[in-house]
């Protein structure tokens, strides 16, 4: 009988810390000592900090043989993390992100994410759809996803947000995605969801705010439209950008076609942002992000 091969598992280590000599050596030496094998490694040193102290970012995809576990890896890596003042995490590659989708009246991003998740294109489990309307109850049901109707008015906003947070806690949600959820979140809710909520909106149209931005853009003859996916912060639509997508348009494109093109790029940008977040490829760098793709 052939000898049984040891079982292996894969993990992702992400870290950020003040930049100094020896970080890569310390990480690779740690992985070598613990019997791990590096599959892929990416790093970036950002020397643009105004105080002169550069920051270093790293993502390492590695394998480890049993009986190593994520808990054991975290415990044994803590000393290295402390030595370099690292903000670090270790996740099993097989760990799937538990995602909650929020939507209002426009369902293109919702439908796109539900399809990508169900087809295996996204490493996520959609644990629910929340809406302040009931339009997409049947769409959620067609994917076997629970639908939660949480109406919002000026008088019930705080109660609605409390119900949303209770759902996030109960379902152990890792990521909240505002898939065209047309409600402004309170500062408190933004703080509660910091670093784990992503929004999508049209971009490259700074002069065309308010109702029907694409119609306004058409009236001005724009030649470029796009979308921005970013983390949610208390500053409306100004959170750290994860991904952007653009498309060129001709003079003969109608306002209705602009809207359709805008919806397409919104879906593309949001899907990539969700995928990269779920794969632990996005590291926060103040008001910016480092994205290892």
Please tell me the pTM assigned to this model.
0.93
- pLDDT confidence of residue 50: 62
- pLDDT confidence of residue 205: 54
- pLDDT confidence of residue 49: 64
Does residue 214 have a pLDDT over 90? no
Helices (H), 119-186: 137-142, 157-170
Number of domains in the chain: 2
Tens-digit pLDDT profile for residues 10-40:
999 999 999 999 999 999 999 999 999 999 9
The answer on 264 and 217 residing in a single domain is yes
The answer on 279 and 146 residing in a single domain is yes
The answer on 135 and 85 residing in a single domain is no
Question: Residues near 211 by Cβ (< 8 Å), separated by ≥ 6?
Answer: none
Q: Which of 92, 117, 139 marks a domain boundary? A: 92
Q: Which of 92, 114, 136 marks a domain boundary? A: 92
pLDDT tier, 52 (very low <50, low <70, confident <90, very high otherwise): low
Give the length of the chain.
Answer: 293
Lowest-confidence segment of 170-174, 201-205, 240-244, 287-291 by average pLDDT: 201-205
- Furthest C-alpha separation in the chain: 76
pLDDT tier, 204 (very low <50, low <70, confident <90, very high otherwise): low
Q: Which of 55, 77, 92 marks a domain boundary? A: 92
72 in any annotated domain: yes
Tens-digit pLDDT profile for residues 141-162:
999 999 999 999 989 999 999 9
The answer on 68 and 118 residing in a single domain is no
The answer on 285 and 207 residing in a single domain is yes
Does residue 178 have a pLDDT over 90? yes
The answer on 134 and 246 residing in a single domain is yes
Question: In this structure, is the dihedral angle defined by the CA atoms of residues 155, 166, 179 and 133, taken in order, positive or negative?
Answer: negative
Token pair of 173 as six digits: 């949600």
The answer on 169 and 129 residing in a single domain is yes
The answer on 234 and 104 residing in a single domain is yes
pLDDT tier, 105 (very low <50, low <70, confident <90, very high otherwise): very high
Residues tagged active-site: 237
Nearest Cα neighbor of 83 from 22, 37, 34 is: 22
206 in any annotated domain: yes
pLDDT tier, 236 (very low <50, low <70, confident <90, very high otherwise): confident
pLDDT tier, 125 (very low <50, low <70, confident <90, very high otherwise): very high
The answer on 117 and 35 residing in a single domain is no
The answer on 267 and 233 residing in a single domain is yes
Give the residue, 286 or 6, on which the prediction is more confident. Answer: 286
- pLDDT confidence of residue 126: 98
The answer on 55 and 39 residing in a single domain is yes
Count CA atoms closer than 13 A to 233's CA, side-chain side.
13
What CATH number does residue 21 fall under? Answer: 3.30.70.260
Q: Note down the domain range covering 55.
A: 8-92
151 in any annotated domain: yes
186 in any annotated domain: yes
Q: What value does the CA radius of gyration of the chain take, rounded to a whole number of Å?
A: 22
What CATH number does residue 107 fall under? Answer: 3.40.50.170
148 in any annotated domain: yes
1 in any annotated domain: no
The answer on 213 and 153 residing in a single domain is yes
């Amino acid at each position: 009988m052939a000898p049984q091969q040891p079982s292996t598992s894969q993990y992702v280590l992400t870290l950020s810390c003040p930049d100094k000599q020896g970080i890569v050596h310390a990480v690779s030496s740690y992985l070598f000592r613990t019997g791990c094998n590096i599959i892929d490694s990416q790093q970036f040193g950002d020397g643009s900090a105004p105080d002169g102290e550069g920051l270093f970012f790293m993502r390492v995809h590695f394998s480890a043989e049993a009986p190593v576990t994520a808990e054991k890896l975290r415990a044994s890596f803590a000393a290295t993390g402390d030595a370099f003042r690292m903000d670090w995490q270790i996740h099993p590659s097989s760990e799937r992100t538990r995602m909650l989708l929020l939507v209002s009246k426009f369902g293109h991003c919702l439908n796109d994410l539900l399809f990508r998740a169900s087809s295996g294109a996204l490493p996520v489990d959609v644990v629910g759809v929340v809406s302040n309307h009931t339009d997409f109850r049947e769409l959620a049901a067609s994917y076997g996803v629970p639908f939660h109707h949480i109406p919002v008015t000026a008088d019930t906003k705080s109660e609605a947000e409390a119900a949303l947070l209770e759902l996030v806690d109960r379902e152990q949600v890792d990521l909240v995605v505002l898939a065209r959820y047309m409600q402004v979140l309170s500062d408190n809710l933004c703080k509660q969801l910091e670093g784990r909520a992503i929004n999508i909106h049209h971009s490259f149209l700074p002069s065309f705010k308010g109702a029907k931005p694409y119609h306004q853009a058409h009236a001005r003859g724009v030649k470029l439209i796009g979308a921005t996916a970013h983390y949610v912060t208390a500053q409306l639509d100004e959170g750290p950008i994860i991904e952007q997508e653009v498309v060129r348009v001709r003079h003969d494109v109608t306002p209705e076609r602009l809207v359709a093109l805008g919806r397409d790029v919104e879906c593309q940008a949001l899907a990539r942002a969700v995928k990269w977040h779920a794969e632990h490829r996005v590291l926060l760098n103040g008001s910016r992000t480092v994205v290892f793709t």
